Amino acid sequence: MNFTRQQIKKNTPAGMTQAIVRQLLISPPSIARLALHDLTTPANKLKKHIKYIKSPQWNGALIGEDMRKETEADALERLKSADLVVFEVHGGGFRIGHCTMFMEAFYSWIQTLKKNHGLDCVIFSVEYTLAPKAAYPTPVRECERAYHHLVSDLGVSPNKIIASGDSCGGILILEMLCRVYAPGLLNRADAKRTNFDIPLPLGALLTSPVVSVNQTSESWKKYTGSDLVNHKLFELIIKEYIQLRVNKLDDMPMLNLFNTLTEQGGLGQIIQGAGLLVYVGEKEVFRDDILEFCDLVKKNSQVKVNVCKAKYPHDWYVIREIVRAQDIPMLKKCDEVTAKWMNHALKLRVLETSSEKLDGLSPTPSKL
């Protein structure tokens, strides 16, 4: 069955896959999840790199070279000793998706980091509760708890952590970092970082991130009929995830993040170092909002922002089945860019840490 499923995936035209995913995103949750599971179940050759973890602190998977064969204790030791850890939060409109749905992309990052930079990378991919079972803010709280577990309980320093999220996973990452480091940013653009007990992560990799809930931009008007995301999906998100019978719109920080993170350089309170690496589709509804977000961050803060674009719809960088065969080499080049940026982030943090130590030294008085 797995072989048959993989052959169907392999031989289905990219345009047809795009149409299937678009429909799945707005299907009833039970149907959507079952169909998406068939579409995104990792190939047999990739399953050996996955170690699923279920604990009171977090649910998800540790992804690394031949990770499945490890005991849970040994897998956690590999996580702790890795050169680089990617804290990964998946997308799916808050209503579908799972922690290993992008294994092709994940394993390519791991391989490219090892081959090009000699870095051992482990991906810490979070499985959060989906809507409608879980309304806001449960998923972001689960991500926050998982991050605290990774950093505080397991002792993995943010000095080697990249935060990564696609689509709604992007806004989950941004809100989670606010809750961890600068809770005031959830409501005020002038709020400052208050948690200095742990370092900030090396940077954030955001793929087609949801940074605004507005649906009025030119890219929304132009691509709502063809992109993976459309107005119907947003109606479902409001109904299933926001759940107005539970939450009030005025009390939802996620709706304010575009302003609080851009107006007065707020993003710099939760992300520094290598800053942001953002992948965006030139044919996605979020294009204009993402690019405006990046421009405002660059204008109003010192955060470094790198943007990579391609003429594809939403989430093209991780949903690789929607990329045409002739453009597969482009994905490889993008993975090399991602690996290079992550390696740069590590080196930059080492330099920053060394500089801080030097700045803290008192000069020895000279004898005259």
Cα of first residue to Cα of last residue in the chain, in angstroms, is: 83
Cβ proximity of 274 and 202 under 8 Å: yes
Residue 282 to residues 59, 159, 160, 271, Cα–Cα distance (Å)? 34, 33, 31, 25
Give the pLDDT of residue 355: 61
Our CA angle for 15, 108, 146, nearest 5°, is 100
Between β-strands 203-207 and 276-281, what pairing exists: parallel, antiparallel or unpaired? parallel
Query: Could you tell me which of 36, 113, 115 has the C-alpha nearest to residue 82?
Result: 113
Neighbours of 197 (CB within 10 A): 8
Q: Which helix (H) or strand (E) holds 181?
A: helix 168-181
Asked if the model's pLDDT at residue 364 lies above 70, the reply is no
Query: What number of residues does the chain have?
Result: 368
Asked if the model's pLDDT at residue 8 lies above 70, the reply is no
Q: What is the mean pLDDT of the segment spanning 136-142?
A: 97
Q: What is the mean pLDDT of the segment spanning 129-148?
A: 96
Whether this prediction's pTM lies above 0.85 is answered by yes
Asked if the model's pLDDT at residue 238 lies above 50, the reply is yes
Which two three-digit tokens encode residue 35? 């169909």
3-state SS class at 59: strand
Alpha-carbon distance 244 to 238, whole Å?
A: 7
Q: What is the pLDDT of residues 22-42, one digit of tens each?
A: 999 999 988 989 888 888 999
Query: Dihedrals φ, ψ of 12, to 5°?
Result: -80, 125
Among the ranges given (33-42, 106-115, 121-130, 343-352), the one the predictor scored with the smallest mean pLDDT = 33-42
Query: Could you tell me which of 222, 362, 366 has the C-alpha nearest to residue 286?
Result: 222
Give the pLDDT of residue 356: 57
Q: What is the mean pLDDT of the segment spanning 233-257?
A: 83
Which two three-digit tokens encode residue 324? 């045409």
Asked if the model's pLDDT at residue 5 lies above 50, the reply is no
DSSP state letter for 102: T
Q: What is the pLDDT of residues 274-285, one digit of tens each?
A: 999 999 999 999
Q: What is the pLDDT of residues 158-202, one digit of tens each?
A: 999 999 999 999 999 999 999 999 999 999 999 999 999 999 999
Give the pLDDT of residue 362: 34
Q: What is the pLDDT of residues 53-68, one digit of tens each?
A: 999 999 999 999 999 9
Domains of the chain: residue spans and CATH: 2-357 (3.40.50.1820)
Torsion of CA 98, 102, 104, 110, to 10 degrees: -100
Q: What percent of the chain has pLDDT over 90?
A: 80
Asked if the model's pLDDT at residue 107 lies above 50, the reply is yes
CA 185, 187, 190, 194 torsion: positive or negative?
negative
Cβ proximity of 218 and 187 under 8 Å: no
Ramachandran quadrant class, 306 (left: phi over 0; alpha: psi -120 to 50; beta: rest): beta
Query: Could you tell me which of 136, 43, 149 has the C-alpha nearest to residue 87?
Result: 149
